[in-house]
Amino acid sequence: MYMFIKYDNLIIRNAVAADAIQLCAWWNDGKIMAHAGLPNGLGCTPEEIRKSLADDTDETHRRHIIELDGRPIGEMNYRNKDGAAELGIKICDFSQQEKGYGTILLSVFIDALFLHHDYKKMILDTNLNNKRAQHVYENKLGFRRIGLEKNAWRDQLGIMNSIINYEMSKADWIASRKEPLEYQYRDR
């Protein structure tokens, strides 16, 4: 299913083969990927990404492009983990960070996944050092911290990293909304 979400001048849409060059540029940029433990980038090719995108399904995982005024500025994704959607987001255009877009994008994405895709729970994790993400997840979106995994993984430079795990139920999401979010949603 093709997902298209529009909120003001922001769009979330499925990543398609034509996005492979942009995704490749982002994923190979160590500055963009450092937060994910990949300060040297992924070292992928557009063709590898095209092939990988062809395997995306609603039942397993789906990658999305974030657009601002029709221009790609980042990516989002979800993975189906036994009926829970595991979320990821990256605002790859540094000039568009710290403007509140992440909170807005996650809000409409979460809402759409709960209401249109029938997920019962959202889960995500972030690096223990990523205080900005923790603030958004806990204070702006209402995720509940459910665990800390110390030294959970080793990055490309051999440095051990710890992660914080979060979750949110559909009931908690609906209860926390003061009024319905006004966005356009289409699947085709």
Along the 188 residues of the chain, how does pLDDT read in single tens digits? 789 999 999 999 999 999 999 999 999 999 999 988 899 999 999 999 999 999 999 899 999 999 999 999 999 999 999 999 999 999 999 999 999 999 999 999 999 999 999 999 999 999 999 999 999 999 999 999 999 999 999 999 999 999 999 999 999 999 988 788 899 999 87
Nearest 5°: the CA angle 159, 160, 163 is: 130
Please name the amino acid found at residue 178.
K
DSSP letter, residue 139: I
Q: What is the second-level CATH architecture of the domain 3-123+177-187?
A: 3-Layer(aba) Sandwich (3.40)
Q: Residue ranges of the domains in the chain?
A: 3-123+177-187
CB-based contact 62:78 (threshold 8 Å): yes
Question: At a CB cut-off of 8 Å and minimum separation 6, what does 118 contact?
Answer: none
Per the CB < 8 A criterion, the answer to whether 177 and 119 are in contact is no
Q: How far apart are the first and last CA of the chain?
A: 6
Q: In the chain, where do the E strands start and end?
A: 3-7, 10-14, 61-68, 71-81, 84-91, 121-127, 144-154, 160-169, 184-187
* Angstrom distance (rounded) from CA 101 to CA 68: 9
Q: Please give the Cα distance from 55 to 63 (Å, whole number).
A: 10
Query: Which pLDDT score, from 0 to 100, does residue 177 have?
Result: 84
pLDDT of residue 29: 98
